[in-house]
Amino acid sequence: MITPDIERRLYREMESEAIKMRCIVLAIGGIADHVHVLLIIPTTVTIAELTKQIKGASSHFVNEVLHPEMPFKWQGSYGAFTVSRWDVDKITAYVNNQKEHHAAANLIAEWEETYEEVNAEASAE
C-alpha cells in the first residue's frame, strides 16, 4: 500500500531510477494500490528492464529506508503503452490527477489495465 507518508519519497525514488536509465520523467501519480508513470524512454532500454529496475529499486528503498509498518511489494504485472506526442498533455494531466480521477470514478479504462487483466479478459471470451 502506498500510504501518504511514503508516497512522495517513493515517487522521487522511482523518478531517480528512471533518470539513471536515461529516461525523461514527464509525470508520476497514483493511489494507494498503483502508480502511473509517463516517461520518454531511450531506444536502448526495454520496457521490461526499466520496469524491473524501477519496481525493484523502489521496493527495496521503501522496505530498507522508509521501514513501513507492512512490507512493501509491487504486484507482478504492469501495463505499458506507447502514446502519441499530441496526447502527452492529456496523459500528463491524467497521471498527475490520479486521486481525483479515482475519487470521481472518472477513469480511462485502458490506462488502468495491466497485461494480466487483459489476458484474463481475452481468455474468458
* Per-domain residue ranges of the chain: 4-124
pTM of the model: 0.81
Judge contact between 78 and 46, C-beta under 8 A. no
Q: How far is CA 31 from CA 40, 43, 84, 97, in A?
A: 22, 29, 25, 10
Res. 81 pLDDT band, cuts 50 70 90: confident
Res. 94 pLDDT band, cuts 50 70 90: confident
Homologous superfamily of 4-124 in CATH? Transposase IS200-like (3.30.70.1290)
Judge contact between 41 and 50, C-beta under 8 A. yes
pLDDT 10s digits, 25-51: 999 998 888 898 999 999 999 999 999
